[in-house]
Structure 1
Amino acid sequence: MPSPADRLAIAAVTEPERAPDAFMTAPVGAREDAMRHLLQTAADAGVGVVATRPEGDVERLLGQAWPFPSPFRVTVRTVALADGLDRIEARARRSLERMGLPRGEALLVSNAADLAGAEGRALWDRLRSLKDRGLFRKIGFCATLDDGPALLARRLQPDLVQIPCNLLDQRASTEGVLAELKAAGAEIHIAHVFAQGVLFAAGESLPPELAGHALALSRVRRRLAESRLDPMQAALAFALNLPEASAVVASVASAAELRAVLAAAHAPAPAIDWSALALETPAARSLGQAADIRYRINSAA
């Protein structure tokens, strides 16, 4: 049987709230050691995909810390279209240089809305050119439901689409969007598996956009507790059981957090009615519009 780790992708994060001792407050050498430990833990577990963004110091840290030989396939995201097509191409090349990679697994348009505007075709053609030159094996985009990802996929035929779907906001699955993307030939990576941290947040720490849905969120937590499920185990079980998903992206800030994620992913799949845990559409839409909650994964295990 394949391991759940085979379908996990990791996105390394360095926010001080997540890893105060691993990255932000440590000397440069210690931060590189922490990243090296995180990547080696992922490699030993069989995790194969690393998702990156062109911001902060993560790309440089990754470039200093890859295990050798590296087992990872790396996805890279573009900067905004407002920066210009030349800047998008230059930054994508720079991402590979910073990570010490001759090529990447995939280059993803960070905001699918950029593909719907007047320069959308030119942007896609620029990505296709980078693929044709061998810098990236695949091209695709990151999208929300509001971007009309299925329509975009039929028009552009992307190799890969990254889209949010989680325990609280299941609309991409229940509304058939994941099935449509797969039918269009796209590989699907599931994002926001932890619902931007809402699954780990107490009522008083909810962002204003979700304050009106605190009761519904409390009800979900109560149902999980009654089923003897912690939120992380439930979130990963839901996402890993989506039949269309090729990979489930989990953000981790340390090797300890990754070990906690791996333990939860390997826990026996619960017999539970997932649909009973989904928020109603208005709350799910608010979840998609809310800012990320700065959280720490319980890494005591």
Structure 2
Amino acid sequence: MAANLGLGSAQFGGDYGISNTRGRVGEEDVRQILELAADCRILNIDASHHDGDVERILGRNWPFPSPFKPQIRTLRLEKGLDWLESRLRRSVDHMGLVRAHAALVDAAEDLTGPEGDALWTRLEKLKADGLISKIGISATAADQPVLLAQRFKPDIMQVPASILDQRLVRNGAIKTLAELGVEVQIRSVFLQGLLFLPREALPANLIPIGPHLSRVRRIMAESGADPLHAALSFALNLEGVSTVMVGVTSAAELRAIVAASERKPPRINYDAMALSDDVALDPKQWFADLGEQATRRLVRVA
């Protein structure tokens, strides 16, 4: 069974995405996006308090009663568990709701640290109290999501996967998570817009992957697919995935995504599209000063 679409909201709070030329989404656009999402039964909404004032923006603009399943996220543990719980309660209140569908641990390293078990116990209490219906973990490939799932038994795991980043597909992690009974959500299916960025617009740290991106686009063209259609088809048909989270800056973009998701999957060599470059697969490094490491990458590619 194909996965469903969910909606990320990072663009509602800031200039998120390397190919985002529109900037932060205005509230009228947010309202139109949410109305279209409701009409299309795109109900999972991922709200992060790291991105501007997203929670309040959502609370001001979605219909009531809300048909959506909003997900909130934890902040880091530096201020203690009581403060973290208070912040989660405020997140729900900011959105004008009585409860949230889910709460995700935003930084998996908090769970592997000394207060990890106490953090999870606190989330289980909030679930028992009815503030949230499900608890989960937002993880990266480096966080070893299968081990986290085996230890904490979350309801949800959210991990990155795309035609460019196939690490958790190739090592079987996504399939294993589903077999453990975990609801698997995938994010970064466009790798923060990198898939759509012209080669000449790549930041310096990504110049070494320019030839690979050109090859990926050539494979798509030869298969009669565009990047949007190819990326969504790959994500929506991954075994074990329940929800594919996407981000948009307008209702028109969401319509295009919905239309592409309903098209017949292309016959395409996805294996040839996977990246193995550690810097390209980590958006935190795209604009970092890599010094000699960047030089070595350029020489190696050349």
Pick the TM interval, shorter chain: 0.7 to 0.9
Match of 2:265 in 1: 269
The match for 1:96 among 68, 92, 96 is 92
The match for 1:286 among 265, 279, 282 is 279
Partner AA of 1:83 in structure 2: K
Query: Which runs of no fewer than 5 residues in structure 1 stay unpaired?
Result: 24-30, 295-301
Deviation readout 1:241-297 (Å, 9 max, x if unpaired): 012111000011221221121111112211122212212x3x1x3233224989xxx
Is 1:140–1:158's contact at 8 Å kept on the other side of the alignment? yes
Alpha-carbon spacing, 1:117–1:207, altered in 2? closer, same or farther (3 Å):
farther
Q: How does 1:1-301 map to 2 (within 5 A)?
A: 7-12=4-9, 13-14=11-12, 15-16=14-15, 17-20=20-23, 22-23=25-26, 31=27, 33-55=28-50, 56-279=52-275, 281=276, 283=277, 285-291=278-284
Runs ≥4 in structure 1, deviation > 3 angstroms?
A: 15-22, 291-294
Query: Which runs of no fewer than 5 residues in structure 2 stay unpaired?
Result: 288-302
Partner AA of 1:210 in structure 2: L
Alpha-carbon spacing, 1:34–1:205, altered in 2? closer, same or farther (3 Å):
same
Deviation readout 1:185-234 (Å, 9 max, x if unpaired): 21000010101211011223223432212111111111112212111111
1:22 shift after superposition: 4.6
> After alignment, is 163-172 or 195-204 more displaced?
195-204
Q: How many residues align?
A: 280
Match of 1:297 in 2: none
1:112 shift after superposition: 0.9
Structure 2 SS opposite 1:162: strand
Structure 2 SS opposite 1:252: coil
Alpha-carbon spacing, 1:197–1:119, altered in 2? closer, same or farther (3 Å):
same
TM-score, normalization by structure 1? 0.87
Partner AA of 2:279 in structure 1: S
Q: 1:44 & 1:35 partners in 2: Cα distance?
A: 14
Is 2:219–2:268's contact at 8 Å kept on the other side of the alignment? no
Deviation readout 1:94-151 (Å, 9 max, x if unpaired): 1110101111111000011111111111111111111111111110111111111101
1:161 shift after superposition: 0.3
1:19 shift after superposition: 3.9
Is 2:219–2:269's contact at 8 Å kept on the other side of the alignment? no
Q: 1:265 & 1:259 partners in 2: Cα distance?
A: 10
State the percentage of identical aligned residues. 44
Is 2:92–2:100's contact at 8 Å kept on the other side of the alignment? yes
**RMSD value over aligned CA atoms?**
2.0
Partner AA of 2:36 in structure 1: T
TM-score, normalization by structure 2? 0.87
